[in-house]
């Protein structure tokens, strides 16, 4: 499942400078000449054939993603009437998957993140899929090595090791922390906890069970809407569901975690974060000078140096 239905409001100022319109960041060529959505597809292509890739989108963004889907199977593109959060998007896509294959192993992949090493990323995903088959009762989270006490990420507190994989030890999750306060983030960093990349792999039936347990009313509404072809009406009444905050935080006993093996993952959650990533990897897109000039001349962030990504 390629999750691409977010609105990307925090990066709207940046995407306006790059693309000339306020498109969500996943459909913007922030790094390289292709959109983050297209890069995600290319990154996953060696792992999953086209007929096994499901795209979860929002109808309001169609003018931004239509070109990116010219070589895709449009039967695998799910267009939501509204953005109701990651939990609703995952639930809707999952029902489509399980209708085709009740025994499917599914992977959740955000389309607005950065990876420095695609091969390392794919190796981790292969290991996560193998772990999901060995532990069908659990979801496998991919966690990244933290570099600072980040308060905008989810954190994964690791417990005992349950098995070894080619990517490293697979551990139980003692607790999942979503966007902790700074003092708690500092503690989690010292304790060797991991950042949540949101990449999740597991048996579709296990994921469905977690959703039905944690947000039963939302799941019932989505199931009825799918069977009655009445998504618009259902979405107009559905409250937002955040997969991390509303599901993972409350279901840590059902979670295992695999440490990312050096893919250089980063969440491009703010303009400052984007510029930090570009500087770190010595990437200089043509838009950087234009964006920096506009912000210096307007006084935006002129006296706010970027916070380092390493150190406490």
- Residue 48: closest CA among 107, 91, 89, 100: 107
Please answer whether residues 206 and 139 qualify as being in contact, where contact means their C-beta atoms are separated by less than 8 angstroms: yes
Give the C-alpha separation, 68 to 193, whole Å. 36
Predicted confidence at residue 294, as pLDDT, reads 54
Token reading at 267: 């969440």
Is pLDDT of 91 > 60?
yes
With cut-offs at 50, 70 and 90, classify the pLDDT of residue 90: very high
With cut-offs at 50, 70 and 90, classify the pLDDT of residue 89: very high
For residue range 227-242, list pLDDT tens digits in order: 888 999 999 999 999 9
Please answer whether residues 149 and 186 qualify as being in contact, where contact means their C-beta atoms are separated by less than 8 angstroms: yes
- 3-class secondary-structure state, position 167: coil
**Bridge partners of residue 109, in order along the sequence:** 2
Give the C-alpha separation, 23 to 8, whole Å. 8
Q: What radius of gyration, in Å, describes the C-alpha atoms of the chain?
A: 19
User: Phi and psi dihedrals of 296, rounded to 5?
Assistant: -70, -40
For residue range 36-52, list pLDDT tens digits in order: 999 999 999 999 988 89
Write the DSSP symbol of residue 49: -
Give the C-alpha separation, 99 to 44, whole Å. 23
* 271-280 vs 287-298: helix crossing angle, rounded to 10: 130
For residue range 152-208, list pLDDT tens digits in order: 999 999 999 999 998 889 999 999 999 999 999 999 999 999 999 999 999 999 999
For residue range 258-305, list pLDDT tens digits in order: 999 789 999 998 888 899 899 988 888 888 877 765 554 455 543 333
Domains of the chain with bracketed CATH: 2-298 (3.90.550.10)
Least confident segment among 12-26, 66-80, 184-198, 253-267 = 66-80
- 96 by Cβ neighbours in 10 Å (0-12 / 13-18 / 19+) ranks as middle
For residue range 99-142, list pLDDT tens digits in order: 999 999 999 999 999 999 999 999 999 999 999 999 999 999 99
Predicted confidence at residue 73, as pLDDT, reads 81
How far CA 62 is from CA of 52, 92, 175, 180, 306, in Å, comes to 21, 18, 38, 34, 34
pTM over 0.85: yes
- Residue 63: closest CA among 20, 124, 96: 20
Instruction: Give the pairing type, strands 2-3 and 55-58.
Output: parallel
Give the C-alpha separation, 285 to 221, whole Å. 44
User: Within 13 Å and on the Cβ side, how many CA atoms surround 280?
Assistant: 19
Predicted confidence at residue 295, as pLDDT, reads 55
Predicted confidence at residue 210, as pLDDT, reads 96
């Amino acid at each position: 499942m390629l999750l691409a239905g977010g609105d990307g409001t925090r990066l709207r100022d940046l995407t306006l400078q790059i693309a000339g319109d306020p498109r969500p960041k996943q459909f913007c060529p922030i790094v390289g000449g292709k959109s983050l959505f297209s890069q995600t597809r290319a990154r996953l292509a060696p792992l999953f054939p086209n007929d096994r890739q499901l795209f979860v989108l929002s109808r309001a963004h169609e003018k931004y993603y239509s070109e990116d889907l010219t070589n895709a199977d449009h039967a695998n593109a799910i267009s939501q009437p509204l953005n109701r959060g990651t939990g609703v998007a995952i639930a809707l896509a999952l029902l489509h998957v399980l209708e085709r294959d009740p025994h499917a192993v599914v992977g959740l992949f955000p389309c607005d993140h950065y990876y420095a090493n695609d091969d390392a990323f794919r190796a981790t995903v292969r290991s996560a899929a193998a772990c999901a088959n060995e532990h069908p009762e659990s979801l496998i989270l991919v966690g990244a090595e933290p570099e600072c006490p980040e308060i905008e990420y989810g954190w994964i507190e690791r417990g005992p090791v349950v098995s070894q994989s080619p990517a490293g030890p697979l551990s139980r999750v003692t607790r999942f922390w979503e966007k902790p306060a700074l003092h708690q983030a500092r503690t989690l960093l010292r304790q060797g906890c991991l950042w949540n990349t949101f990449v999740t792999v597991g048996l579709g039936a296990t994921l469905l069970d977690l959703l039905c347990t944690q947000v039963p009313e939302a799941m019932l509404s989505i199931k009825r809407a799918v069977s009655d072809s009445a998504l618009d009406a259902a979405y107009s009444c559905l409250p937002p569901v955040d997969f991390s905050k509303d599901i993972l935080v409350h279901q840590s006993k059902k979670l295992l975690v695999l440490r990312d093996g050096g893919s250089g993952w980063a969440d491009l959650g703010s303009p400052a974060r984007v510029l930090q990533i570009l500087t770190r990897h010595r990437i200089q897109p043509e838009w950087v000078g234009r964006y920096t000039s506009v912000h210096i001349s307007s006084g935006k962030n002129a006296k706010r140096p970027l916070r380092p990504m390493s150190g406490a």
